[in-house]
Amino acid sequence: MSKLVIEGLRPLCGEINVQGAKNSALPILAASVAARGESVIHNCPRLSDIDVTIKILRYLGCKVTREGNTVTVDSTDIIRDDIPLELMREMRSSIIFLGALISAAGHARVSFPGGCDLGPRPIDIHLKALRKMGITVNEHRGFIDCTINKNIKGCKLALEFPSVGATENIILTAVKAQGRTIITNAAAEPEIIDLCDFLNSCGAKITTGDSGTVIIDGVSTLNGCSHCIIPDRIAAATYMCAGAVCGGDIVLNGGIPSHLSAVIPVFEECGCIIMQEQSKLRVIAPDRLKAPKFIRTMPYPGFPTDAQPPVMALATQCDGTTVFVENIFESRYNHISELIRLGAKIKLEGRVAVVEGNTSLYGTNIHAFDLRGAAALVTAALCAEGKTVIYDTDYLERGYEDFDVVLNSLGASVKKI
Ligand code: UD1
């Protein structure tokens, strides 16, 4: 496990490029299994979760090459339709291979996925939808075995919650169904749209509506294509937090402001000046930050749960009190105990956290417990007096490309050991 040593209280200034979106790249790489031939994926971030995805693709028989941020997947010679437990356990999004394999091979055998510990993360919505599409789903001793009976049946699916993963698995299954599938209350995250754009370039027929409706007309074959991954809105939000807590002035190249429509107003409430261009975002921090009153995490286009931890670190530096309500994950507050060790004043009651702002943080030794929680700890350490050592920072490599290098390029002092 790596650790980061951070010397705080340095102003951050400068320009950075926003990496490709992890949550787009992972399902799109999985989807390449269902598209026969070669898919060339550009702007693919260099992350440990991408490495695991490539391992899975190679296990299945795909030929995968990687040059910089371009990953090429040739799925012509797939030889397997199962994924071993040790690969499934390495990340949550391994579950997206379920839909991709059903479409590619008519059968899939996977175990329950792993991933960051954010409380229980069931997959009942995924499996219920697959059953409704005529797929036999057997769950036995931690494994899930899915088989197409005669064919995949297009149907109407009203999701009880707009789950990102379930929406992706349904889309991946429905692209090869007979007839039309209509998903209502589907997730509408930009990463879902990116997956649909990739699949449409492969020959799928998917339309997405504004109100969480996705319509998929099944096709018989998909062929590989070339696709560029969208910028990572969560990485962008994290760097915005880092800039704001350090009284900085930073420019994010490649950030798409419309993908941050629930995040930008929070920074404006804090008193930051936000200058937006089509794919550029400048964040200028005020002399004194003001506390945003309420942060409620919601499915897109609401405030993203993945940005809650770093924004909580930001709230510790604002004049006033901020109330956080975490509506997506039951226990996504692992970072609070460590923020308190740095001097933050936070009260937690169930899904509600109350952050008293304007606290002086001081460096000490702390531990990361999950990816976005680790980003919150780094954000807090950047504005803490003295030296902070954050242990177990391998989590960051799941979601941030060269986090230390990017922060240092803005003027931070972050040493990876
Ligand atoms: C994806 C993102 C993750 C983000 C999350 C919510 C990827 C790789 N990961 O995760 O970064 O935090 O969306 O925006 O894209 N649920 C059920 N039953 C199900 C499925 C989900 O109860 O069958 C619940 C989950 O327990 C959770 C909520 O729905 O409480 C949201 O989960 P979901 O949208 O599925 O998130 P993921 O796809 O796992």
Three-class DSSP labels, the chain: CCCEEEECCCCCEEEEECCECHHHHHHHHHHCCCCECEEEEECCCCCHHHHHHHHHHHHHCCEEEEECCEEEEECCCCCCCECCHHHHCCCHHHHHHHHHHHHHHCEEEEECCCCCCCCCCCCHHHHHHHHHCCEEEEEECCEEEEEECCCCECCEEECCCCCHHHHHHHHHHHCCCECEEEEECCCCCHHHHHHHHHHHHCCCEEEECCCCCEEEECCCCCECCEEECCECHHHHHHHHHHHHHCCCEEEEECCCHHHHCCCHHHHHHCCCEEEEECCEEEEECCCCCECCCEEEECCCCCECHHHHHHHHHHHCCCECEEEEECCCCCCCCCHHHHHHHCCCEEEEECCEEEEECCCCCECCEEECCCHHHHHHHHHHHHCCECEEEEECHHHHHHCCCCHHHHHHHCCCEEEEC
Contact 356, 322 (CB under 8 A): no
* Nearest atom, ligand 1, residue 306 CA: 12
Contact 395, 371 (CB under 8 A): yes
Q: Label the pairing between strands 249-253 and 13-17.
A: parallel
- Whether a cis peptide bond, with omega within 30° of 0, leads into 301 is yes
Token pair of 38, please? 């070669």
φ/ψ of 67, rounded to 5, equals -130, 110
| Active-site choice (44, 62, 116, 202) | 116
Provide the residue ranges of all domains of the chain, joining segments of one domain with +. Answer: 3-18+231-416, 22-228
How many other C-beta atoms lie within 10 A of the C-beta of residue 327?
15
CA-to-CA dists, residue 2 to 367, 382, 391, angstroms: 11, 18, 7
Identify the pLDDT of residue 117.
72
In terms of residues, how long is the chain? 417
- 355/324 Cα distance (integer angstroms): 8
Please list the pLDDT of the chain residue by residue as tens digits (417 residues): 899 999 999 999 999 999 999 999 999 999 999 999 999 999 999 999 999 999 999 999 999 999 999 999 999 999 999 999 999 988 888 999 999 999 999 999 998 887 667 777 889 999 999 999 999 999 988 899 999 988 999 999 999 999 999 999 999 999 999 999 999 999 999 999 999 999 999 999 999 987 899 999 999 999 999 999 999 999 999 999 999 999 999 999 998 999 999 999 999 999 999 999 888 999 999 999 999 999 999 999 999 999 999 999 999 999 999 999 999 998 899 999 999 999 999 999 999 999 999 999 999 999 999 999 999 999 999 999 999 999 999 999 999 999 999 999 999 999 999
CATH superfamily of 22-228: Enolpyruvate transferase domain (3.65.10.10)
- Cross-strand partners of 184: 158
Identify the pLDDT of residue 115.
66
Identify the pLDDT of residue 52.
96
Identify the pLDDT of residue 142.
85
Note the pTM of the prediction, 2 decimals. Answer: 0.97
Identify the pLDDT of residue 116.
67
Testing ligand 1's pocket by substitution, the residue of 56, 96, 163, 331 carrying the most ligand atoms inside 8 A of its CB is 163
CA-to-CA dists, residue 226 to 35, 93, 219, 220, 317, angstroms: 11, 22, 19, 20, 44
Residues 335, 336, 342, 343, Cα dihedral to 10°: 170
- 109/144 Cα distance (integer angstroms): 6
Please determine whether the domains at 3-18+231-416 and 22-228 fall in the same fold group of CATH. yes
Under CATH, which architecture does the 3-18+231-416 domain have? Alpha-beta prism (3.65)
The separation between the first and the last C-alpha atoms of the chain, rounded to the nearest angstrom, is: 9
Query: Does residue 202 have an active-site annotation?
Result: no
- 380/193 Cα distance (integer angstroms): 33
163-167 contact pairs (CB < 8 A, 24+): 163/125, 163/126, 163/187, 164/23, 164/189, 164/191, 164/192, 165/92, 165/93, 165/95, 165/96, 165/123, 165/126, 166/123, 166/125, 166/126, 166/129, 167/192, 167/214
Identify the pLDDT of residue 93.
87
Token pair of 164, please? 């990102």
Ligand 1 centroid–CA 163 distance in Å is 5
Ligand 1 centroid–CA 171 distance in Å is 15
- 232/50 Cα distance (integer angstroms): 14
* Nearest atom, ligand 1, residue 93 CA: 8
Q: Which residues line ligand 1 (CB under 6 A)?
A: 23, 26, 92-93, 121-126, 161, 163-166, 187, 191, 305-306, 328-329
Identify the pLDDT of residue 158.
98
Testing ligand 1's pocket by substitution, the residue of 49, 52, 90, 161 carrying the most ligand atoms inside 8 A of its CB is 161
